[in-house]
């Protein structure tokens, strides 16, 4: 399937854009990371600062109560010896104080005034802009067992009670500042207390909540219902976790902080409780009312109250998301603009390449005279254009030369084909059909012409034959082969012996043999009537005699013909039995190689002969045809490396 075309300018633009986007992404990640760290630090610092400001404001108001109470105690101490006097003193001290001070009281020790009974607690309080008084001590208001009374008697600097709703007189949320009171002799006679309305605290903390959320960006992104979970808010709770202040007024006194953080993991909850117990100023992540939040907390001086700012986690993380989205949008716009600008610039810069490609395509089609575009810039494209001009000229010259060479090569190939035909026609292919003998042979050159040869003729009841393999291949070997065959015919006569024939051929071939060529040769003369075979072997492969089995014919090891002048060759004689076959071959059979370099080998030759004996296919033509087919199977697609010649005689 042909790949879809994509221009160079497109690929270059895409790669540059990838680099730009990658760079922008890395920079954006770094910016978001730095911004996140800065926002987190700033957020923590801001809320800790706001917490400190609110805490100091509350402490100043509580300090003012303590100072007023200390002043009142000194005046009231002078009148504690009589019930009437203490009522009068309490009223006189209450009148000048502002409306946040709801009332003063003195809770006497049991039976201090015998005629007043065990419980005597004169109480002067404000109600509808008037000052009233009453005695609140009774079995139903057993103040002796109240925490504020017990702790106040032991306290030296005063004690702030936990907030409560007054169920006796004012019926409002308040807390009490209590301190031991003494008679004129310095003996503790009871507890002085100042009731302090906490309505101001609720109003002040609500104002703080509005200030904290004044610039909350999440109100722009979410509806009002969901925005409640993104608001920061203040809470104050006492030592037991009871809310003193909460934005939801219904939860004050009636709900508990520690109960609302039960979804916080135990490790974080214990860490928070440890920090609260240590009365340190800190912050921590918690889950309150099912919302992941950060809590900033500190203790209010002189009390067991804890002042906190609750900051939902989304309030801290949402600005980061907004910045990330803005950066993402900005990156997209910048990337799109960069793509357009880069695409146009690169397309213009690479336009000469496109024109040059079209011209090159014309050249590829054979139009070597195609005009190439002119280049104004002296750059790499200009150099490429010059290279195409040089290539155009070189191709023109090459084609002209190629035409001459092709003509010459065609003539040579024609001559070689003629030489091949002459060579193949020089070996006999017309095999006689006789009752006493069968002959068949095959010669396949590795190249157009080769150096293998075979020859035979029958004269006066005798079969004269030879097979040979010239050293080397190609035209030199073919010429040497033709000369060898001509000498065999010339020196063969009815009285000639095989060794005489080979010796004379050797002496002639050694003359003027500057190339040092030689030929392995087997020459035989078979008396057809008697079966006597006289032969001479000159370095050739031993023939194989096939009867009921296959055996190698014994030959004496003598050097090939043409290697050394005046070599004395010896004749050997054997008698062929009727129905025996003699197979002669060149080393192109045994040394035929497959793609892995494995040779066909003599063992395979004998294996094929045994199979032919078993199948009854020992006729010379059948034997040679099957052997050649086995070689082709062995070598497969591998190119033939040597001439392959087989010559077979069956004596009947």
Residue-wise pLDDT tens digits, 559-575: 999 999 999 999 999 99
Distance CA 632, CA 639 (A): 10
Q: How confident is the model at residue 419 (pLDDT cuts 50, 70, 90)?
A: low
> Average pLDDT, stretch 334-348?
80
Enumerate the β-bridge partners of residue 389.
none
Token pair, residue 622, equals 């059948």
pLDDT digits over 241-295, tens only?
899 899 988 888 889 988 888 888 887 778 887 877 777 788 888 888 888 888 8
Give 280's contacts (C-beta < 8 A, 6+ positions apart).
298
Average pLDDT, the chain: 84
Per-residue DSSP letter, 618: -
Helix axes 313-364, 8-77, angle to 10 degrees: 170
> Cα-flanking dihedrals φ and ψ of residue 438, to 5°?
-120, 140
For the chain, what is the radius of gyration of the CA atoms? 62
What pLDDT does 223 receive? 42
Distance CA 118, CA 142 (A): 10
The answer to whether residue 219 scores a pLDDT higher than 50 is no
With CA atoms as reference, report the closest residue to 453 among 462, 461, 444. 444
What pLDDT does 105 receive? 92
Give 258's contacts (C-beta < 8 A, 6+ positions apart).
241, 273
Beta-carbon count within 10 A of 187 CB: 8
**Which residue spans within 67-184 are E strands per DSSP?**
101-108, 122-127, 130-135, 159-160, 164-165, 173-182
Enumerate the β-bridge partners of residue 319.
none
Per-residue DSSP letter, 378: -
Q: What is the DSSP string of 163-198?
A: PEE-SSSS-SEEEEEEEEEE-TTS-EEEEEEEEEE-
CATH topology for 78-197 is Beta-Lactamase (3.30.450)
Helix axes 474-490, 498-510, angle to 10 degrees: 130
Distance CA 121, CA 137 (A): 5
- The pTM for the full model equals 0.50
Place of tokens 């004596």: 651
Q: Is 270 exposed, middle or buried (0-12, 13-18, 19+ CB in 10 A)?
A: exposed
623 in Cβ contact with 637 (< 8 Å): no
Beta-carbon count within 10 A of 554 CB: 11
Distance CA 549, CA 577 (A): 13
What pLDDT does 584 receive? 96
Helix axes 83-94, 8-77, angle to 10 degrees: 140
With CA atoms as reference, report the closest residue to 570 among 555, 583, 592. 555
Enumerate the β-bridge partners of residue 320.
none
Q: Is 408 exposed, middle or buried (0-12, 13-18, 19+ CB in 10 A)?
A: exposed
What pLDDT does 5 receive? 61
Report the half-sphere exposure of 24 (CA within 13 A, side-chain side). 19
Place of tokens 């907030």: 163
Enumerate the β-bridge partners of residue 283.
296
- Name the percent of the chain lying above pLDDT 90: 31
Q: Is 648 exposed, middle or buried (0-12, 13-18, 19+ CB in 10 A)?
A: buried
pLDDT digits over 111-160, tens only?
998 888 899 999 999 888 889 999 988 988 888 988 888 888 888 778 88
pLDDT digits over 378-411, tens only?
776 777 777 777 877 777 787 778 878 877 776 6
414 vs 554, higher pLDDT: 554
Q: How far apart, in Å, are the Cα atoms of 582 and each of 255, 327, 465, 643?
A: 120, 95, 12, 20
List alpha helices for 365-467, DSSP H: 380-426
CATH H-level, domain 427-651: superfamily? PPM-type phosphatase domain (3.60.40.10)
Give 580's contacts (C-beta < 8 A, 6+ positions apart).
545, 546, 547, 650, 651
Distance CA 369, CA 616 (A): 70
605 in Cβ contact with 590 (< 8 Å): yes
pLDDT digits over 525-544, tens only?
999 999 999 999 999 999 99
Distance CA 14, CA 339 (A): 8
CA angle 575/581/585 to nearest 5° reads: 105
Per-residue DSSP letter, 230: G
With CA atoms as reference, report the closest residue to 300 among 417, 420, 382, 205. 205
pLDDT digits over 178-211, tens only?
999 988 888 889 999 998 888 888 888 888 888 8
Place of tokens 């001086």: 301
Token pair, residue 74, equals 């000194």
Q: How confident is the model at residue 497 (pLDDT cuts 50, 70, 90)?
A: very high
With CA atoms as reference, report the closest residue to 103 among 79, 135, 80, 74. 135
282 vs 3, higher pLDDT: 282
CA angle 360/361/363 to nearest 5° reads: 65
Q: How confident is the model at residue 168 (pLDDT cuts 50, 70, 90)?
A: low
Give me the residue spans of the domains in the chain: 78-197, 363-411, 427-651
Q: What is the DSSP string of 571-598?
A: -EEEEPPTTEEEEEE-HHHHT-B-TT--
Longest dimension (CA), the chain: 181
- Sheet with 644-651, edge to edge strand ranges: 437-444, 644-651, 580-585, 544-546, 550-552
Q: How far apart, in Å, are the Cα atoms of 43 and each of 35, 38, 206?
A: 12, 8, 20
What pLDDT does 533 receive? 96
441 in Cβ contact with 647 (< 8 Å): yes
296 in Cβ contact with 234 (< 8 Å): no
What pLDDT does 494 receive? 64
DSSP helix/strand/coil, 635: helix
């Amino acid at each position: 399937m042909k790949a879809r075309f994509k221009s160079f300018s497109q690929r270059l633009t895409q790669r540059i854009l990838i680099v730009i986007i990658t760079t922008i992404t890395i920079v954006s990640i770094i910016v978001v990371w730095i911004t996140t760290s800065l926002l987190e630090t700033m957020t923590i610092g801001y809320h800790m600062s706001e917490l400190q400001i609110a805490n100091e404001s509350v402490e100043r108001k509580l300090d003012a109560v303590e100072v007023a109470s200390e002043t009142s105690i000194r005046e009231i101490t002078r009148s504690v010896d009589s019930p009437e006097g203490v009522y009068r003193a309490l009223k006189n001290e209450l009148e000048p104080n502002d409306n946040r001070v709801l009332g003063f009281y003195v809770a006497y020790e049991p039976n201090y005034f015998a005629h007043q009974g065990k419980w005597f607690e004169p109480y002067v309080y404000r109600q509808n802009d008037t000052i009233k008084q009453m005695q609140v001590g009774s079995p139903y208001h057993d103040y002796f067992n109240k925490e504020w009374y017990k702790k106040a008697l032991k306290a030296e600097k005063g004690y702030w009670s936990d907030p409560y709703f007054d169920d006796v007189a004012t019926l409002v949320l308040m807390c009490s500042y209590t301190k031991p009171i003494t008679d004129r002799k310095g003996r503790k006679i009871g507890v002085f207390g100042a009731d302090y309305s906490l309505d101001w605290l609720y109003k002040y903390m609500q104002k703080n909540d509005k200030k904290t959320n004044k610039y909350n960006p999440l109100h722009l992104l979410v509806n009002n219902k969901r925005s409640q979970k993104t608001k920061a808010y203040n809470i104050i709770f006492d030592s037991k976790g009871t809310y003193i202040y909460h934005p939801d007024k219904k939860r004050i006194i009636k709900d508990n902080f520690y109960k609302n953080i039960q979804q916080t993991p135990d490790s974080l909850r214990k860490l928070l409780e440890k920090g609260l117990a240590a009365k340190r100023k800190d912050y921590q992540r918690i889950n309150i009312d099912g919302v992941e939040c950060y809590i900033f907390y500190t203790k209010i001086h002189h009390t067991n109250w804890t002042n906190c700012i609750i900051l939902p986690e989304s309030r801290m993380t949402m600005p980061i998301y907004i910045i990330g989205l803005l950066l993402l949008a900005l990156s997209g716009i910048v990337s799109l603009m960069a793509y357009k600008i880069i695409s146009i610039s690169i397309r213009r810069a690479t336009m000469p390449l496109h024109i040059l490609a079209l011209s090159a395509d014309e050249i590829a089609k054979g139009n070597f005279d195609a005009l190439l575009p002119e280049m104004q810039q002296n750059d790499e494209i200009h150099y490429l254009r010059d290279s195409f001009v040089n290539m155009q000229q070189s191709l023109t010259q090459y084609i002209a030369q190629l035409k001459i060479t092709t003509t010459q090569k065609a003539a040579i190939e024609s001559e070689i084909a003629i030489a091949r035909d002459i060579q193949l026609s020089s070996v006999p292919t017309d095999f006689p059909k006789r009752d006493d003998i069968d002959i068949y042979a095959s010669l396949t050159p590795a190249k157009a012409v080769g150096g293998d040869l075979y020859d035979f003729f029958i004269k006066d009841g005798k079969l004269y034959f030879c097979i040979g393999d010239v050293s080397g291949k190609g035209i030199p070997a073919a010429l040497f082969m033709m000369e060898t065959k001509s000498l065999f015919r010339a020196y063969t006569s009815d009285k000639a012996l095989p060794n005489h024939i080979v010796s004379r051929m050797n002496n002639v071939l050694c003359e003027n043999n500057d190339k040092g060529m030689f030929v392995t040769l087997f020459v035989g003369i078979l008396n057809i009537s008697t079966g006597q075979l006289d032969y001479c072997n000159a370095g050739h492969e031993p023939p194989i005699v096939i009867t009921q089995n296959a055996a190698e014919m014994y030959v004496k090891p003598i050097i090939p013909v043409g290697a050394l002048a005046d070599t004395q060759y010896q004749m050997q004689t054997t008698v062929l039995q009727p129905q025996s076959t003699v197979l002669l071959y060149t080393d192109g059979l045994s040394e035929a190689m497959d793609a892995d370099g494995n040779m066909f080998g003599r063992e395979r030759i004998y294996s094929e002969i045994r199979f032919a004996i078993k199948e009854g296919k020992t006729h010379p033509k059948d034997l040679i045809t099957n052997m050649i087919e086995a070689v082709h199977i062995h070598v497969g697609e591998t190119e033939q490396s040597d001439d392959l010649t087989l010559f077979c005689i069956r004596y009947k």
